[in-house]
Amino acid sequence: MDLIPAIDIIEGKCVRLSQGDFARQSTYGPAPLDMAKQFEDAGIQRLHVVDLDGARLGKVTNWSSLEAITRSTQLSVDFGGGVKHRDDVQRIIQAGASYVVVGSMAVNNPSIFLEWKEEFGTNRFFIGADVHAGILKTLGWKEGSDLSIEQFLSGYTQKGFDYFFCTDIERDGVFTGPSLQLYKQLLEQFPSIRLVASGGVSSLQDLYDLQQIGCAGAIIGKAIYENRISLKELQQFILQHPSVC
């Protein structure tokens, strides 16, 4: 299972939101690059970087933060937030990211996204499904849709994709624990996918639980910044579980 700390960026600073609400924003001291180096020093190999300015404005904004992290660390980075154009995908890859995170475009503009797939390949994309009561939301969680998470996954697995992360918006940033039942149900329905849990992780026990039900990874955000899970604890967790990185 991949442990994937999240760095959410607004105006070049590390922040965390509660339930995707920009009015409920906490800013943290270390710059994104400094935070990334701390994760790397703890033995982490993956990083989830979100351009929240880009998600809100519909245009990738924090390019310099991405480039600094990929240039100065060996972390495998996935990056998203405001990815709307083919040139965004190309620039993210050229900047050194391992994966391009696509969410809203996969919901609202599937034909364009599938053109990107043909050019860059399925293995370049980490597809995000942000859900509220089982229904997808887009554009920084501001817009609703008529698409259920099951319909979404079914459509894209049929197109050859197998790597997804799912965020339960109600649980994001509020320390109520991840949506174990939702993830378990999705893994039973779509056994071929690699599903990464996102939202709600608040303790090491949550990580054990997600590993137990078969999640391919867990994105961890506010729990780290609020020191509910320390970097030392993550380091020990990795050492105790050789399959975890």
130 is catalytic: yes
How buried is residue 232: exposed, middle or buried, by Cβ count under 10 Å (0-12/13-18/19+)?
exposed
Long-range contacts of 143-149 (CB under 8 A, 24+ apart): 143/104, 145/107, 145/108, 147/107, 149/182, 149/186
pLDDT range class, residue 19, cuts 50, 70, 90 = low
Residue 65: the pLDDT is 96
Nearest to 196 by CA among 168, 173, 234: 168
**Which of 2, 8, 51, 209 does the annotation list as catalytic?**
8
pTM for this one?
Answer: 0.92
Residues 6+ apart with CB under 8 A from 16: 8, 25, 26, 28, 173, 221, 222, 225
CATH number of the domain at 2-240, out of 3.20.20.70, 3.50.50.60, 1.10.287.110, 2.40.50.100? 3.20.20.70
Q: Could you report the per-residue pLDDT of 121-162, keeping only the tens digit for each?
A: 999 999 999 898 888 887 655 666 789 999 999 999 999 999
8 is catalytic: yes
User: Phi and psi at residue 189, in whole multiples of 5°?
Assistant: -80, -30
Q: Could you report the per-residue pLDDT of 4-17, keeping only the tens digit for each?
A: 999 999 999 998 77
How buried is residue 213: exposed, middle or buried, by Cβ count under 10 Å (0-12/13-18/19+)?
middle
- Please state, in angstroms and rounded to a whole number, the distance separating the CA atoms of residues 100 and 52: 15
How buried is residue 240: exposed, middle or buried, by Cβ count under 10 Å (0-12/13-18/19+)?
exposed
- Please state, in angstroms and rounded to a whole number, the distance separating the CA atoms of residues 199 and 206: 11
Whether 98 and 78 have beta carbons less than 8 Å apart is answered as yes
Mean pLDDT of 186-204: 95
Residues 6+ apart with CB under 8 A from 137: 130, 131, 143, 144, 145, 169
Write down the domain spans for the chain. 2-240
Q: Could you report the per-residue pLDDT of 40-98, keeping only the tens digit for each?
A: 999 999 999 999 999 888 899 999 999 999 999 999 999 999 999 999 999 999 999 99
User: What single DSSP character describes residue 113?
Assistant: H
Q: Is the sign of the CA dihedral 43, 168, 54, 124 positive or negative?
A: positive
- Please state, in angstroms and rounded to a whole number, the distance separating the CA atoms of residues 9 and 114: 27
- Please state, in angstroms and rounded to a whole number, the distance separating the CA atoms of residues 194 and 162: 6
**Which of 130, 168, 172, 206 does the annotation list as catalytic?**
130
